[in-house]
Amino acid sequence: MFEDFREYSVAEFFKKNRHMLGFSGKIKSMTTIIHELVTNALDACEEAQILPDIRVEISQVDVDKYKVVVSDNGPGIPKELLGKVFGQLLAGTKFHKYKQQRGQQGIGAAGVAMYAKLTTGLPLHIISAHEGKLVSADITVDIQKNQPLITNLIEDEADFHGTIVEGVFGDVKVDKSEYSVLEYIKRTAIANPHASFELVINGEQYSFPRTSDKVPPPPKEVKPHPLGVLTYELIELAKRSTSKTLKRFFVETFERFSTAKVQELEKLVNVDLNKSPKELTWQEAEDLVKAIRSMQWMAPRKDVVYPIGEDQIKGSLEAILKPEIVITRTRDPKIYRGGIPYVVEVGIAYGGNFKGSIMRFANRVPLLFDSSACAITKAVKSIDWKRYGIKDFDNEPVLALVSLNSVFVPYVSAGKTAISQEEEIVQEIKNALMEAARKIKIHINKKIRSRELEKKKSALMRYVNYLSHDISYLSGYPPEPLKENLERIIKEKYSL
Amino acid sequence: MFEDFREYSVAEFFKKNRHMLGFSGKIKSMTTIIHELVTNALDACEEAQILPDIRVEISQVDVDKYKVVVSDNGPGIPKELLGKVFGQLLAGTKFHKYKQQRGQQGIGAAGVAMYAKLTTGLPLHIISAHEGKLVSADITVDIQKNQPLITNLIEDEADFHGTIVEGVFGDVKVDKSEYSVLEYIKRTAIANPHASFELVINGEQYSFPRTSDKVPPPPKEVKPHPLGVLTYELIELAKRSTSKTLKRFFVETFERFSTAKVQELEKLVNVDLNKSPKELTWQEAEDLVKAIRSMQWMAPRKDVVYPIGEDQIKGSLEAILKPEIVITRTRDPKIYRGGIPYVVEVGIAYGGNFKGSIMRFANRVPLLFDSSACAITKAVKSIDWKRYGIKDFDNEPVLALVSLNSVFVPYVSAGKTAISQEEEIVQEIKNALMEAARKIKIHINKKIRSRELEKKKSALMRYVNYLSHDISYLSGYPPEPLKENLERIIKEKYSL
């Protein structure tokens, strides 16, 4: 019974459970490939403060088999890291940092390489031009060991910078549906107006020029917030710290931990805060965490979370839907799980040639799949839209766009396709939507009132002729001026 | 920008993303702990063909802090494997096998140890009595290395067999809600009538004696089905094979691959099937996979998937809900992803003191969380219940129980809380539900007709007196026998 006990690599785990990475179904798998490569390109360009020019080329080579080339003008990837980026799952820089990025765990690109290997046996072909040096190589994942396999390495000089990723994939498909690559790029363009996209699918070209020349600021790394730290994490941070005393450790390691706060903490616990962090015991850490949670703390910094922006959301929805009205709302940044900063922004479009739908974004990346699992969907569906004048969300002309931005987005699975339905987050999204919905309600009521007034006005206007003649007969006054006056009075009274 | 590039262990990944393991929210985290330990106990007892006696004891030791003890009479765990079971993620026997088990990836127990470490710093205390030997030890996970840490190891003789797992956990909570441990055990008992459960929560005792003395057969391991193999997997299996020729390899490695099928395959491809499997090239493997997919194959074996059983489902629903009617239905086993066997069984209860709800099971384990992400929920919600006489599922007395059983359940995330909404699976669940719902419709129609007849009968009965007297007056016949006859005629005509 216990004979075949052995350890498995994380690559083997995700090979068997590749649906958790988004590789489930042909359309979804193709969109997942594009998503992983495009988000890496956007993150890299933003770090290097480059306006991204991204090109995606997809061409069918056989039944359900496509060649994909994604190129960008980013900083490129250093030679020594190519293997880890494309050939190893869970290797990256993004893991321990609290910084708003699209990728957050070092799985994406290696997952793409693995999918190519599983479906065609072929490695990815990478060209990277970084700081004047060009490297070209074939890279794939040794799945059993979760290690990179690199072949055909060529080095040269480069007078440009950027990355080109080329692969051949099976069990994939591209079409023009709402789940496919064209829709994905369209929505990515909405959330990233500073980026330009060229998309070529089997020769058909789609251009999305940039509509802003402003590179978003490079995301700031944020230190952990005191309220969010678990006892175990406090000990780990203390062990790794180079601070001389616990007092210095707190100030240097955490956000909002001033020396005044240290003094306040000192009074609440029976721990010598002058000793080295490395001497911290579990019990002491537990007491410190308890004390920290009983203290008042400043709200998180506003400048570590980066929303799309209300103007951009409004402009995009107006351009796409041509609605009667768009209401946007950005909430103040909040924290969840005690200390992780995030910010929610929403846009509700109403009135026009579209029906009830939800558009989801996380860290300025569109979420197209697994909608039923998503915190955003749960929030939208849990609102009593009748109270805002919308009796039947699904069948009325309303679109709710929700964008969540955080230094760490809690996704449902490693494929980052849906946001985990954490209560605090669902509630915050609801609040944002309800605030916007109140203004939609005012608009709808105005519309209804305006329509009712119009009806009354029309009804009355039908009788103006008769009325003016009758009054004229009774009074002796001429009918025409009477009629004009009556019409004027009616119009005045029955308008908004 | 690339300075902090390093590799991360799978334990670190799941520490940061512990919500993917089900550790999100206090109630859910506690239920997840119990779930992982109880399912391990059930799997072990079934392998060893022992009728399981499982005891779960939960006692509060502080605010949101509980001691948990789970003990079973299973075969115990050998000393040399204790570390890997409780101290390492992705170590286990279950990974490469296609066998219907509750655990399927070697994460569960180590995830529990990790959660204890994160919230209290304490290791799990394990006592294992296996084949006459007793081992007692404290075990936890070294998260950075994903390696076990074992202390206080004591060995002795044992005259019993079983496993006791003891831990102290923070950030957990237990109550009597539908998401908590009591409900979890209740539903586990429904799906496992051969097991007995003792549950003690802060001194309050709940017993669930077994209602069957039949141990389910130990799950049979199934070889991969030809239709489900990817090119990459074919090559890996060929590389690992000890068969002398490709012909023997196919027959020995796959289900339903008879020598006749090998001959059929030989005619379809330009590959020498007499050569060693180790010489198989990618292109050849790709051609073989294509050819295999064009052939006809026998359906999967029925005896590798183990449903709860219609009698058990019916009996349980009748006992719990006391409904007017329960309709059950077990479908034939199917395959998804080309070759993975699974079977769906359902039970629909109608009429009584309950409202629209869904009860989910996967491999005879209840699913309580992440319902919106689940294939079962999607299937239930996508049915047009009006066609079956249920105008408003949520508010009418109907309960749909769905149980999916497979050698590999595609879960949404590593926490195994919901089934991935794979199209084939959602459709199959829908088919099962619609078959059962048709019979519910017959019952409902019968009820409606019966009510209408009753109404007509009552209405007519009101006039029997008058009618009989009037007829008596007109005809001269005595009223009493007339009245009796009339009543008899009405009753006969207006009954089902």
What strands, in cross-sheet order, belong to the sheet with B53-62? B147-157, B133-142, B124-130, B162-169, B65-72, B53-62, B196-201, B204-208
Number of Cβ within 10 Å of residue B474's Cβ equals 8
Q: Considering only alpha carbons, which residue of chain B is nearest residue A147?
A: B7
Average pLDDT, chain B: 92
State yes or no: pLDDT of B97 exceeds 80: no
Q: Are residues A86 and A42 in the same domain?
A: yes
Nearest to B368 by CA among B85, B13, B29, B10: B29
Judge whether A216 lies within some domain: no
Q: Are residues A49 and A188 in the same domain?
A: yes
Cβ(B76)–Cβ(B130) below 8 Å: yes
Mutation pick from A4, A5, A20, A93 vs chain B, by most beta carbons of B within 10 Å, is A5
Judge whether A303 lies within some domain: no
Nearest to A25 by CA among A177, A187, A156, A134: A177
Residue B463, pLDDT score: 85
> In Å, what is the CA distance from A336 to each residue of A406, B19, B67, B469, B483?
10, 13, 27, 81, 77
Cα–Cα distance for residue pair B471/B467, rounded to 1 Å: 6
Q: Are residues B242 and B175 in the same domain?
A: no
Q: Are residues B239 and B350 in the same domain?
A: no
Residue B76 at interface with chain A, using a CB cutoff of 8 Å: no
pLDDT in tens, A377-396: 999 999 999 999 999 999 99
Cα–Cα distance for residue pair A190/A173, rounded to 1 Å: 24
Residue B3, pLDDT score: 60
CATH number of the structural domain spanning residue B256 = 1.10.8.50
Judged by CB atoms closer than 8 Å, whether chains meet at B423 and A25 is answered as yes
State yes or no: pLDDT of B1 exceeds 60: no
Residue A2, pLDDT score: 60
Judged by CB atoms closer than 8 Å, whether chains meet at B377 and A378 is answered as no
Hey, what are A468's tokens?
Answer: 């003016």
Q: Helices in A91-177 by DSSP H: which ranges?
A: 108-120
Cα–Cα distance for residue pair B295/B226, rounded to 1 Å: 10
> In Å, what is the CA distance from B86 to each residue of A31, A98, A232, B114, B138?
37, 30, 18, 9, 10
Share of chain B above pLDDT 90, in %: 70
Q: Considering only alpha carbons, which residue of chain B is nearest residue A420?
A: B19
Q: What is the mean pLDDT of residues B179-183?
A: 94
**What does chain A come to in residues?**
496
Please state which of the ranges A267-276, A420-429, A441-450, B8-17 shows the lowest mean pLDDT. Answer: B8-17
Q: Helices in A58-126 by DSSP H: which ranges?
A: 79-87, 108-120
Q: Are residues A201 and A230 in the same domain?
A: no
**What does chain B come to in residues?**
496
Residue A90, pLDDT score: 86
pLDDT in tens, A3-29: 666 778 888 888 888 988 999 889 999
Cα–Cα distance for residue pair A234/A249, rounded to 1 Å: 10
Q: Are residues B430 and B448 in the same domain?
A: no
State yes or no: pLDDT of A339 exceeds 90: no
Smallest Cβ–Cβ distance between A372 and the set B2, B25, B373 belongs to B373
Q: pLDDT band for position A95 (50/70/90)?
A: low
ipTM over 0.95: no
- Please, which residues have CB within 8 angstroms of residue A476's CB and are 6 or more apart in sequence? none
Judge whether A4 lies within some domain: no
Q: What burial letters (b/e) apply to B161-184, b meaning 16+ CB within 10 Å?
A: bbbbbbbbbbbbbbeeeeebbbbb
Judge whether B63 lies within some domain: yes
State yes or no: pLDDT of B461 exceeds 90: no
Please state which of the ranges A97-101, A113-117, B381-385 shows the lowest mean pLDDT. Answer: A97-101
CATH number of the structural domain spanning residue B420 = 3.30.230.10
Element (H, E) at A13: helix A10-16
Residue B93, pLDDT score: 65
Q: Are residues A401 and A485 in the same domain?
A: no
Cβ(B167)–Cβ(B114) below 8 Å: no
Q: What is the mean pLDDT of residues B443-466?
A: 89
Nearest to A67 by CA among A78, A51, A56: A56
Judged by CB atoms closer than 8 Å, whether chains meet at B232 and A118 is answered as yes
Cα–Cα distance for residue pair A437/A441, rounded to 1 Å: 6
Q: What is the mean pLDDT of residues B472-492?
A: 88
CATH number of the structural domain spanning residue A38 = 3.30.565.10
Residue A238, pLDDT score: 94
Per-window interface: A 212-251 vs B, CB < 8 A = 230-233, 235
Q: What is the mean pLDDT of residues B291-305?
A: 87
pLDDT in tens, A153-178: 999 999 999 999 999 999 999 999 98
Q: What is the mean pLDDT of residues B321-338?
A: 92
Q: Are residues A342 and A448 in the same domain?
A: no
Q: pLDDT band for position A302 (50/70/90)?
A: confident
Hey, what are A463's tokens?
Answer: 């009788």
Judge whether A335 lies within some domain: yes
Beta bridge partners of B55: B71, B198
- Strand B53-62 relative to strand B196-201, pairing: parallel
Q: Are residues B267 and B128 in the same domain?
A: no
User: Number of CB pairs < 8 Å for A and B?
Assistant: 178
Please indicate whether residue A302 or residue B186 has the higher confidence score (pLDDT). Answer: B186
Residue B95, pLDDT score: 64
Q: Are residues B361 and B469 in the same domain?
A: no
CB contacts of A285 in chain B (<8 Å) are 121
Judge whether B5 lies within some domain: no
Judge whether B260 lies within some domain: yes
Judged by CB atoms closer than 8 Å, whether chains meet at B285 and A121 is answered as yes
State yes or no: pLDDT of A1 exceeds 60: no
Mutation pick from A3, A9, A12, A13 vs chain B, by most beta carbons of B within 10 Å, is A13
Cα–Cα distance for residue pair B154/A38, rounded to 1 Å: 54
Residue B82, pLDDT score: 95
Q: Are residues B239 and B92 in the same domain?
A: no
Our CA-based measurement puts residue B92 at a distance from the nearest CA of chain A, in whole angstroms, of: 5
State yes or no: pLDDT of A112 exceeds 70: yes
Number of domains in chain A: 4
Last residue within a domain, chosen from B174, B208, B242? B208
Range of the domain at B468: 444-493
Last residue within a domain, chosen from A208, A240, A275? A208
Cα–Cα distance for residue pair A275/A289, rounded to 1 Å: 17
Hey, what are A392's tokens?
Answer: 């039947």
Residue B96, pLDDT score: 66
Please state which of the ranges A286-300, A416-430, B1-15, B155-169 shows the lowest mean pLDDT. Answer: B1-15
Average pLDDT, chain A: 92
Judge whether B454 lies within some domain: yes
Smallest Cβ–Cβ distance between A117 and the set B8, B232, B412 belongs to B232
Q: Considering only alpha carbons, which residue of chain A is nearest residue B116?
A: A232
Last residue within a domain, chosen from B244, B262, B294? B294
CB contacts of A420 in chain B (<8 Å) are 19-20, 24
Q: Are residues B314 and B289 in the same domain?
A: no
